[in-house]
């Protein structure tokens, strides 16, 4: 029986009789415990939120930052961090945990969405639809056609068929619309409130609606270039943007974060910190570095972009994103595949083992709004103002002082609004700076969509003339769902020349 779709996450019987602690979601569930369909949403939700975020903050972030010129590492040292990534050795095993984990670990969300409960769990169901859509957009953006209609049916359907990627995008939009309507129109007198079971928003339903609207905005912008050749999709696109003109989005200070009770212990730390920072009990101890702390640092391209070498504008976010290693007098980069040791990840990304994890930042939302207004897709708002608010939000989140950055950068091509002929270039390039480290996978996908930032160098050690644009279906599909995946006839070149539907450029 295929583990990927035979999802029956379970929890110990003790959880039904003991006060639930958010820390419990950081511990592996008891396979001999109660089946998930016997548990109330209050027990399922914290884990359903937490487990997919681990992959998002670690593997997906790692992959994205190495596929664009954000992260480097000394690929020539003994442990050779990122050697495979920088050689572009894409196989069916390359970052296959992204597919395997997201497909499986969103199953609990589907359980909440589809299960019939005696009480009114509209809030739980609505937010589960929004949060599941967040991850399934990434599955489409990384793989193309995926199983969606048939997902998470456990033993009832072991070999799910693949849905067309456009159809999945439309289904995700519909799910978000349904979720927002469910939240807004429920009987508030009977609705079970989420409270502390919501380890993302703390039960703030208005913020969940803003997150849903912002996610829909991102989906629509991703497909914006593709709709012109598809009249039916164009009609959907126009209708959905019309509805967004009266919507609220995530604004300044409204980052979407998760914290189920991270602590300075094995398997309980913030996943980003545990993957790219320090071992438990060693936070900040540079004399006792782990391999994870040594692996990631900035590229030379990024350092020179931020220290003023490339464009004449010094960006103080550099000192928050990265910090010195022993013997360094300034932030140092390395080429992807080079033999130097770049500076380490800095305090703007690594603050403590208990730090919140980022799902979507306010700055990303503001960049999305700026793009939509600039393109005339949203009728309200000022594109330049939103763009500058996004940059300000980025500085604030990283703990950097913007100083005169906005005025200094304004007339500079590529990073400033007035100085950049194609405003989309300034938006995406600033998004690349902002999300590097926090959401690397988004920067790779946005580069594939737009080609910005321009002139990024390829790794020193690759023989490929261009970056990959997608991932290959994983080995688990070829062993467990071969009849449905084999029809795609993928090979290594597929990752470099088989575009996603929205990649029309």
pLDDT band at 308 (very low <50, low <70, confident <90, very high): very high
Task: Write down the pLDDT at residue 246.
Answer: 87
Task: Write down the pLDDT at residue 325.
Answer: 86
| pLDDT tens digits along 254-263 | 999 999 999 9
Question: Given a cut of 70, is residue 359 above it in pLDDT?
Answer: yes
Q: Which two tokens stand for residue 370?
A: 């700026």
| pLDDT tens digits along 440-450 | 999 999 999 99
Residue with tokens 């644009």: 469
Task: Write down the pLDDT at residue 505.
Answer: 80
pLDDT band at 400 (very low <50, low <70, confident <90, very high): very high
Strand locations in 270-396, DSSP E?
Answer: 297-298, 322-323, 344-345, 357-360
% of residues, the chain, pLDDT over 70: 89
Q: Any idea which fold 10-261+357-497 has?
A: 1.25.40
Q: Per-residue pLDDT averaged across 276-294, rounded?
A: 72
How far apart, in whole angstroms, are the C-alpha atoms of residue 150 and residue 6? 12
Task: Write down the pLDDT at residue 155.
Answer: 67
Closest CA to 146 of 127, 169, 129: 169
Question: Given a cut of 80, is residue 101 above it in pLDDT?
Answer: yes
- In this structure, the dihedral spanned by the alpha carbons of residues 55, 61, 63 and 67, taken in order and rounded to 10 degrees, is 160
% of residues, the chain, pLDDT over 90: 81
Residue with tokens 């894409």: 90
Q: Per-residue pLDDT averaged across 370-379, rounded?
A: 97
Q: Which two tokens stand for residue 51?
A: 């487990």
Task: Write down the pLDDT at residue 288.
Answer: 58
Handedness of CA 37, 42, 43, 48 (dihedral sign): positive
CA dist 64 → 67, 103, 186, 336, 373 (Å): 5, 19, 39, 13, 27
Question: Given a cut of 70, is residue 30 above it in pLDDT?
Answer: no
**If you count DSSP H runs as helices and E runs as strands, how many of each does the chain have, helices first?**
22, 8
Contacts 24+ apart (CB under 8 A), 170-175: 170/233, 170/236, 172/133, 172/136, 172/137, 172/140, 172/219, 173/216, 173/219, 173/220, 173/236, 173/240, 175/129, 175/130, 175/132, 175/133
Residues 6+ apart with CB under 8 A from 436: 65, 70, 71, 302, 321, 443
Task: Write down the pLDDT at residue 294.
Answer: 56
Closest CA to 261 of 269, 250, 253: 269
Question: Given a cut of 60, is residue 5 above it in pLDDT?
Answer: no
Task: Write down the pLDDT at residue 13.
Answer: 26
| pLDDT tens digits along 419-441 | 999 999 999 999 999 999 999 99
DSSP per-residue string spanning 297-324: EEBHHHHHHHSSTTTS---TTHHHHEEP
Q: Which two tokens stand for residue 394?
A: 């980025």
Task: Write down the pLDDT at residue 75.
Answer: 61
| pLDDT tens digits along 457-501 | 999 999 999 999 999 999 999 999 999 999 999 999 999 999 999
Q: What is the mean pLDDT of the chain?
A: 90
In sequence order, what are the beta bridge partners of 497? Answer: none
Q: Per-residue pLDDT averaged across 88-108, rounded?
A: 96
Question: Given a cut of 90, is residue 192 above it in pLDDT?
Answer: yes
Strand 344-345 and strand 34-35: the pairing is unpaired
Residue with tokens 């009249």: 231
Task: Write down the pLDDT at residue 285.
Answer: 78
């Amino acid at each position: 029986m295929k583990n990927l779709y035979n999802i029956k996450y379970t929890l110990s019987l003790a959880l039904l009789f003991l006060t639930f602690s958010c820390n419990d979601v950081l511990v592996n569930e008891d396979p001999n415990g109660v089946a998930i369909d016997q548990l109330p949403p209050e027990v399922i939700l914290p884990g359903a939120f937490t487990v997919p975020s681990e992959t998002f903050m670690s593997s997906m972030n790692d992959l994205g930052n190495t596929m664009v010129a954000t992260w480097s590492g000394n690929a020539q040292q003994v442990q050779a961090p990122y050697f495979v990534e920088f050689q572009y050795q894409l196989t069916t095993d390359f970052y296959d945990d992204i597919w395997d984990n997201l497909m499986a670990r969103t199953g609990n969300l589907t359980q909440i969405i589809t299960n019939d409960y005696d009480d009114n769990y509209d809030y739980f169901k609505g937010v589960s639809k929004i949060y599941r859509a967040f991850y399934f957009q990434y599955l489409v953006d990384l793989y193309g056609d995926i199983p969606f209609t048939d997902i998470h049916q456990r033993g009832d359907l072991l070999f799910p068929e693949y849905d067309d990627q456009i159809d999945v995008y439309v289904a995700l939009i519909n799910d978000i619309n349904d979720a927002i309507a469910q939240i807004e129109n429920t009987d508030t007198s009977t609705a079970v409130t989420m409270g502390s079971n919501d380890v993302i928003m703390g039960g703030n339903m208005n913020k969940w609606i803003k997150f849903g609207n912002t996610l829909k905005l991102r989906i629509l912008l991703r497909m914006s270039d593709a709709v012109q050749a598809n009249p039916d999709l164009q009609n959907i696109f126009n209708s959905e943007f019309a509805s967004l003109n009266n919507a609220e989005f995530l604004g300044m200070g409204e980052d979407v974060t998760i914290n189920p009770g991270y602590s300075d212990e094995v398997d309980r730390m913030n996943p980003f910190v545990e993957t790219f920072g320090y071992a438990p009990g060693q936070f900040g101890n540079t004399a006792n570095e782990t391999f994870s702390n040594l692996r990631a640092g900035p590229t030379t391209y990024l350092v020179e972009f931020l220290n003023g070498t490339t464009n004449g504008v010094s960006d103080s976010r550099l000192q928050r994103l990265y910090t010195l290693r022993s013997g360094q007098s300034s932030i140092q980069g390395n080429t992807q595949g080079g033999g130097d040791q770049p500076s380490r990840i800095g305090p703007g990304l690594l603050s403590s083992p208990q730090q919140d994890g980022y799902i979507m930042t306010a700055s990303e939302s503001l960049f999305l709004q700026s793009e939509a207004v600039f393109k005339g897709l949203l009728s309200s708002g000022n594109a330049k103002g939103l763009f500058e608010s996004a940059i300000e939000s980025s500085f604030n989140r990283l703990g950097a002082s913007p100083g005169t950055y906005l005025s200094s950068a304004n007339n500079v091509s590529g990073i400033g609004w007035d100085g950049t002929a194609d405003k989309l270039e300034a938006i995406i390039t600033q998004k690349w700076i902002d999300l590097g480290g926090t959401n690397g996978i988004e920067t790779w996908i946005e580069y594939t969509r737009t080609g910005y930032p321009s002139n990024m160098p390829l790794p020193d050690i690759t023989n490929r003339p261009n970056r990959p644009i997608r991932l290959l279906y994983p080995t688990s599909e070829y062993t467990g769902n071969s009849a449905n995946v084999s029809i795609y006839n993928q090979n290594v070149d597929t990752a470099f020349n088989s575009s996603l539907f929205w990649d029309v450029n």
